[in-house]
Amino acid sequence: MKKLGFGLMRLPLIDPNDLSKVDLEQVKKMADEFIKEGFTYFDTAYPYHKNGFSELAFRECVAKRYPRDAYTIADKLSLFMIDRKEDIPAFFESQLERCGVDYFDYYLLHAMRQELVEKAAQMDAFSFVFEKKREGKIKQVGFSFHDSPEVLEKMLQAYPDIDFVQLQINYLDWEDPSVQSRRCYDLCVKYHKKVIVMEPVKGGLLSVVPEEAKNLLKEKEPERSTASWAIRFAASLDSVMVVLSGMSNLEQLEDNLSYMKEFAPLSKEEFELVFQVAKIIKEKETIPCTSCSYCVDGCPMNIPIPKYFALINLLSKFGESQREEAERRYQNALQRGYGKASDCIGCGQCESHCPQHIEIREMLKLVAKEFE
């Protein structure tokens, strides 16, 4: 299987302010190109694009238009959206229906962290998915992970029959003390688990790097995109089976296909280069937000947290040349009815859902200081 996967988390939209308004015609063109070039892996989840619209987009753009052996599909059991054990079977069956398939090639417990590991045990969630595997409705069972290496090792010991693990891996997080990508990856190697990579470009952060870093990459490979280095880094790791890319338009897809069709791993010199780029990026004060938007659902003040953090990162990386643009975007958000950063009441629900462990409440104070 080729190492590029199509992540259906950031699909093109007809209305940029409504995540449910997916541009299905553009997604069809993207899926056609993806499959034509020999790629098969699609990844979705119920929370993506609000309440199942990513799954529905997959059904309309892929499942209804291609034979079942032309693609593989991964979906997820999002326990953070389920309150009762009794609701799990209906949740699972509704996913099969929305995706338009009779079985999932890959099925994951979604966004595992300590509290969800405990919830999974209480709800017998792993027993459920392994039963579905025995029934043939799941081919391979895994989980996506957002916690410490210590928690990961306990999970790998507790559930030795897991087929694979989905990890956040990119060259910026490889040695990051809060994400610890390398240590988590090494544990998967130790326990002989295949790895699927999410956030290889860190929510787009590694596609727009500081000028100094960009120049280093262009000097080495003038024709390659900045994002390509991030995806190739992840794909170069031996135990990685697939690298997911949340592609939002045909141009991004075509760029990814251009270097992943005939994939060449990074050389030792190129590994050193991306770590040099990581050092430059870390010297800039940025918020490590990937725009997953898990923090937004349930915010009592309707604050578009990822949008505001993107503005801080814009200023951090490019300075005052982007001040006017950042302020324009902030005012546009307010005009559309979103809450101000200073409206935050400090409830902390956002931080409990953040895979990057960002101190969101403190960062919102920084946003308010910059734009209010």
List pLDDT tens digits, range 174-229: 998 778 999 999 999 999 999 999 999 988 889 988 889 999 999 999 999 999 99
Where does the pLDDT of residue 170 fall: very low under 50, low under 70, confident under 90, or very high at 90 and above? very high
User: Does residue 239 share a domain with residue 94?
Assistant: yes
In the structure encoding, which two tokens stand for residue 339, read together? 């809450």
52 is a domain residue: yes
296 is a domain residue: no
Tell whether the model's pLDDT for residue 318 goes beyond 80.
no
Side-chain-side CA neighbours of 102 within 13 Å: the count stands at: 5
User: Does residue 206 share a domain with residue 123?
Assistant: yes
The last residue of one of the domains, among 228, 250, 283, is 283
Tell whether the model's pLDDT for residue 285 goes beyond 80.
no
Nearest-angstrom CA–CA distance, 126 and 161: 10
pTM for this one?
Answer: 0.84
Q: What is the DSSP letter of 340?
A: P
User: Does residue 230 share a domain with residue 100?
Assistant: yes
User: Does residue 323 share a domain with residue 270?
Assistant: no
The last residue of one of the domains, among 283, 317, 337, is 283
User: Does residue 350 share a domain with residue 230?
Assistant: no
The last residue of one of the domains, among 252, 283, 314, is 283
Residue corresponding to tokens 């199942």: 52
293 is a domain residue: no
What CATH number should be reported for the domain holding residue 58?
3.20.20.100
Side-chain-side CA neighbours of 291 within 13 Å: the count stands at: 17
User: Mean pLDDT, to the nearest integer, of 123-144?
Assistant: 98
235 is a domain residue: yes
User: Does residue 153 share a domain with residue 10?
Assistant: yes
Collect all residues with Cβ–Cβ distance below 8 Å to 15 and sequence separation of at least 6: 21
At 86, give phi and psi (nearest 5°). Answer: -65, -20
The pLDDT of residue 316 is 83
Tell whether the model's pLDDT for residue 17 goes beyond 90.
no
List pLDDT tens digits, range 69-91: 999 999 999 999 999 999 999 99
Report CA torsion sign: 236, 354, 318, 246: positive
Residue corresponding to tokens 């994400």: 179
User: Does residue 255 share a domain with residue 345?
Assistant: no
User: Does residue 123 share a domain with residue 248?
Assistant: yes
260 is a domain residue: yes
User: Does residue 148 share a domain with residue 193?
Assistant: yes
User: Does residue 179 share a domain with residue 322?
Assistant: no
Tell whether the model's pLDDT for residue 22 goes beyond 90.
yes
Residue corresponding to tokens 């030792």: 268
User: Does residue 228 share a domain with residue 145?
Assistant: yes
Number of domains in the chain: 2
The alpha carbon of residue 62 and the mean position of all alpha carbons in its chain are separated, in whole angstroms, by: 20
294 is a domain residue: no
Domain span at 24: 4-283
Nearest-angstrom CA–CA distance, 48 and 60: 16
User: Does residue 55 share a domain with residue 189?
Assistant: yes
List pLDDT tens digits, range 238-280: 999 999 999 999 999 999 999 999 999 999 999 999 999 999 9
